[in-house]
Structure 1
Amino acid sequence: MKLNTIIIWTVSAAICSCYPSSQPVIGVLLETVYNSPGHYKAMADYKSFIEQGGAAAVPIFVNQTDEYYESIMSRINGVLLPGGGVNLLTSFYARVAYKIFQ
Structure 2
Amino acid sequence: MKIPTRNELAVMLVWAFRDEKVESAINPHADALTLYCNVMALPVAEAAAVVSHARAGDVSPADPVALARWTRGLMLLREMLAQPMCTLSIAEPETMAQASVAA
Same fold (TM over 0.5): no
Greater helix percent: which structure?
2
Q: TM-score range by the shorter chain?
A: under 0.3
Q: TM-score, normalised by structure 2?
A: 0.25
Greater strand percent: which structure?
1
Q: TM-score, normalised by structure 1?
A: 0.25
Select the structure of larger CA radius of gyration: 2
